[in-house]
Amino acid sequence: MDDSIAGNRAYWNDTAHHWVGPGERAWATDEITWGTFEVPEAELRALPDVTGLDVVELGCGTGYVSAWLLRGGARSSVGVDPTEGQLATARSLQHEHDLAFPLVQAAGEDVPLRDRCADLVVSEYGAAIWADPARWLPEAARLLR
């Protein structure tokens, strides 16, 4: 594991407890919102119709984007995150909301999923900001059909 991945993993494990409350709030709402300012998807229109799509969420953290997309009609979603702490929160929220989907512990730069396994790869706050773009963007492209 290279230093940037190890550093990201350590940081997010150390701060995972700070994201429990925001994760709980995000899971409790049906409306997708984006970023720090929580711009509603209905206003931003960043997503295609997700009905029937297979999704991979890179840097899923608490898994709320995958939850939103599944409730919005996606056929499947796999949440990928490098940190045990964030994934533990995601598992707890899956149980609380009775919505299960696979969670994979891995960095966005090195995703252990097969080529062309997804119709949509999304990163709301995780890989898009914290992972090396020269590595995670080709990895995301590899996952797309």
pLDDT of residue 1: 66
Tokens of 31: 């409306």
- Kindly list the domain boundaries of the chain, sorted by start residue: 3-27+50-143
Please, are residues 142 and 19 in contact by the beta-carbon 8 Å criterion? no
CATH 1.10.760.10 applies to domain 3-27+50-143? no
The label of the residue with tokens 């090396």 reads 132
Cα atoms in the Cβ-side hemisphere of radius 13 Å centred on 68 = 24
Please, are residues 16 and 92 in contact by the beta-carbon 8 Å criterion? no
- pTM exceeds 0.85, yes or no: yes
> Mind listing the pLDDT tens digit for each residue in 1-14?
677 778 777 787 78
pLDDT of residue 114: 98
> Mind listing the pLDDT tens digit for each residue in 105-129?
999 999 999 999 999 999 997 777 7
Tokens of 46: 């960043």
Tokens of 17: 């407890």
Q: How far is CA 80 from CA 37, 39, 123, in A?
A: 24, 23, 10
Give the separation between CA 51 and CA 114, rounded to whole angstroms. 22
pLDDT along the chain (145 residues), means of 10: 76 82 92 90 96 97 96 98 95 98 96 98 82 92 99
Please, are residues 119 and 140 in contact by the beta-carbon 8 Å criterion? no
